[in-house]
Amino acid sequence: MRFNRKVAIPILWLRRHITKRQFILLSSVFVGLTAGIAAVILKSAVHFIYAFVTGGQFFEYKAQFLLLMPMLGLLLTVFYVQVFRNGKLGRGTSNVLYTISQKGSRVEKDKMYTHIITAALTGGFGGSAGLESPIVVTGSAIGSNYSRFYHLSFQDRTLLLACGAAAGISAAFSAPIAGVLFAIEVLLTEVTISAFTPLLLAAATGALCNRILLQEGALFYFNLKEPFHYENVPFYIGLGILCALVSVYYSRMAWKVEALFAKYKGNVYGKAISGGLLLGIMIFLFPPLFGEGYQSIKSLSTGDSSRLLAGSIFADWRFNEWAVLLFIGATGLMKVFAAMTTISSGGNGGNFAPSMFVGAYTGFFFSKLVNLLGLSHLPIGNFTMVGMAGIVSGVIHAPLTGIFLIAEITGGYQLMIPLMLVTAIAFALVKYIEPFSLDTKHLAARGHLHRVDKDKAVLKNLRIINLIETNYQTIKPETTLGELTQLIATNHQPIYPVLNEKEQLLGLVQVNNIREMLFKPELYEARRAAEMMVLPLTVVHKTEDMSTVMQKFDETNALLLPVTHNTKFVGFISKSGVFTRYRKLLIKYSQE
């Protein structure tokens, strides 16, 4: 999936003959088209492999072999990553966020196709993870490398990266508005009005790729049959609270499963086998965990929930409503383990689709339970759909994406009020309990949570060691005022550090504080530096990061701060020096 030079030459000609704004708009269409086709290729590949595995006449005892299919998919994925990617793949949206903030939005070229291959192997053979994160990475890589090929600036490169991601999400669900909002909520924090048009063009192009090439055959689409009734508002509030609790459970259980598989250091194939066997057992008990699970969500939304027990060891209980309800609840909770087992043991996928799966099962479980208890007669299909938005909001921390995604895939906006209500409640409660989303939590744990905040990204690239000013004359505690006067006449320093024999900072003599004494010769021998010095308001340690240093400047309102290393004085860092270096880096960072 490289940029063909025959195509590139006309684009270069266009770039020279149209304005920069026009070129960005045109580029957003090209990126959206490529990312949309990539998303279609990935979904088609997964569906082809899935049909081959589940519908072919290759195994006499197909059900037993299906238990081994996820492990085969994991092994093939791990093999590809080890052989062709040197064991490194860079999974998930967090990897894109890290690339934006730490690598200037430069995504590796091979990510334009490696995530298609690995996600197809994982998902096609029944891996219980989503395709949306690989699609986001692929689309982001396409936008980034297109920008690099035409030598665009950091801002334009980041914008087209987000255009690729928006087109990928749009093509995956045929939901262009959700694609735009996903790019804004998750990838971009600095967004201007001018960025909306490229994002809209890219997302619309991605959606067209889906509709033209897939003919809606693979779309995640529902027809809304029951309208919203205001008397159900208390139950939607209850669903919002439940979605928040389930989202917290999702996030924390995901971390525990990931930590469990992290113990397999260096044994990638053993981890894939263990994960595959565990996943096979879970699928044996709960067949809806096989693959993405969108078909089972359709069954829930249409009221055909008993069908989910078919083929499982609980099939005989599929006509017992309470047994079906317990099965649905258990399956929803187990999806977290299945998804994280798939990803943590070496597969490629994301948490977007699993969060929708869990949300649908949560909404169904809640509404069905209320109906069975005789508390009300709730529209189960509506609650199933709204639950999806609640969990997406709580897990991914993207409430607008959740709202409009469900509104688009249901074919209307009649559920807008309950969508907004449930999503807002879930997001607010989860944000209070878990400040970071599942993806950004990884970045925060490593100290890399800067997203696309360009100012913070530039500030992080500043190093104290490059900003220390060492050409300061130091004095001793016994230095007299007369000796200091001679130094002031030749050095013009505003401040003099007082050091002991071990070069440790004892205090600071500020020229402004002793200016009157300089004109009193009678004090030249009588006053010593130890009497004139003051303690520093704060001290900067050489190993501190620049965010901490800037906080110290703000708290003390100082223009100069002393720097120490292993208790020894090494120099000063000035506020003006930091800002000068910062401005230079900001200009360079923006033009790269």
Give yes or no for residue 436 having a pLDDT over 90. no
How sure is the predictor about 58, in pLDDT bands with cuts at 50, 70 and 90? very low
Q: Indicate the range of 145-154, 383-392, 453-462, 566-575 predicted with least confidence.
A: 453-462
User: Could you give the angle at the alpha carbon of 415 between the alpha carbons of 410 and 417, nearest 5°?
Assistant: 150
How sure is the predictor about 198, in pLDDT bands with cuts at 50, 70 and 90? very high
Q: Which residues, including other chains, have CB under 8 Å from residue 495's CB and lie 6 or more apart? A: 472, 508, 509, 510, 511, 560, 572
| Fold of the domain built from segment(s) 230-453 | Clc chloride channel (1.10.3080)
Pick the CATH number of 5-213 from 1.10.3080.10, 3.40.50.620, 3.40.1160.10, 1.20.200.10: 1.10.3080.10
Residue 5, pLDDT score: 52
Give yes or no for residue 101 having a pLDDT over 60. yes
* pTM assigned to the model: 0.74
| Alpha carbons 393 and 387: distance in angstroms, whole number | 10
Give yes or no for residue 236 having a pLDDT over 70. yes
Residues in the chain: 592
450, 98 Cβ separation under 8 angstroms: no
Q: Which residues, including other chains, have CB under 8 Å from residue 7's CB and lie 6 or more apart? A: none
Residue 3, pLDDT score: 53
Residue 463, pLDDT score: 74
| Alpha carbons 126 and 120: distance in angstroms, whole number | 10
The average pLDDT across 375-387 equals: 89
Give yes or no for residue 454 having a pLDDT over 70. no
Q: pLDDT, tens digit, for every residue of 114-140?
A: 999 999 999 888 888 888 889 999 999
Give yes or no for residue 217 having a pLDDT over 80. no
**And the tokens for 200?**
């809209």
Q: Report which DSSP code applies to 185.
A: I
The average pLDDT across 1-18 equals: 60
In CATH terms, are 5-213 and 230-453 the same topology? yes
Give yes or no for residue 61 having a pLDDT over 50. no
From 378, 382, 384, select the one nearest 413 (Cα to Cα).
382
| Alpha carbons 18 and 388: distance in angstroms, whole number | 44
Better-predicted residue by pLDDT, 178 or 222: 178
The average pLDDT across 156-164 equals: 91
- Top-confidence range, 49-53, 220-224, 297-301, 534-538: 534-538
How sure is the predictor about 30, in pLDDT bands with cuts at 50, 70 and 90? very high
Residue 216, pLDDT score: 55
Q: pLDDT, tens digit, for every residue of 483-529?
A: 888 888 888 788 999 999 889 999 999 888 888 888 888 888 888 98
Residue 219, pLDDT score: 43
Which sign, positive or negative, has the C-alpha torsion 362, 368, 373, 374? positive
Q: Indicate the range of 252-261, 315-324, 508-517 predicted with least confidence.
A: 315-324
The average pLDDT across 200-229 equals: 75
Residue 223, pLDDT score: 59
The average pLDDT across 175-187 equals: 89
Give yes or no for residue 373 having a pLDDT over 90. yes
- Top-confidence range, 33-47, 54-68, 176-190, 316-330: 33-47
How sure is the predictor about 392, in pLDDT bands with cuts at 50, 70 and 90? very high
Residue 409, pLDDT score: 80
The average pLDDT across 581-592 equals: 61
Residue 577, pLDDT score: 82
Give yes or no for residue 195 having a pLDDT over 60. yes
User: Could you give the angle at the alpha carbon of 284 between the alpha carbons of 280 and 287, nearest 5°?
Assistant: 105
Q: pLDDT, tens digit, for every residue of 524-543?
A: 888 898 889 988 889 998 88
- Name the pairing type of β-strands 560-565 and 568-574: antiparallel
| Alpha carbons 134 and 91: distance in angstroms, whole number | 7
222, 414 Cβ separation under 8 angstroms: no
The average pLDDT across 70-83 equals: 91
Give yes or no for residue 200 having a pLDDT over 80. yes
Domain spans of the chain, in order of start: 5-213, 230-453, 458-591
Chain CA centroid to CA 168, Å: 15
Average pLDDT over the chain reads 83
How sure is the predictor about 265, in pLDDT bands with cuts at 50, 70 and 90? confident
The average pLDDT across 359-364 equals: 94
Q: Which CATH superfamily is domain 458-591 in?
A: CBS-domain (3.10.580.10)
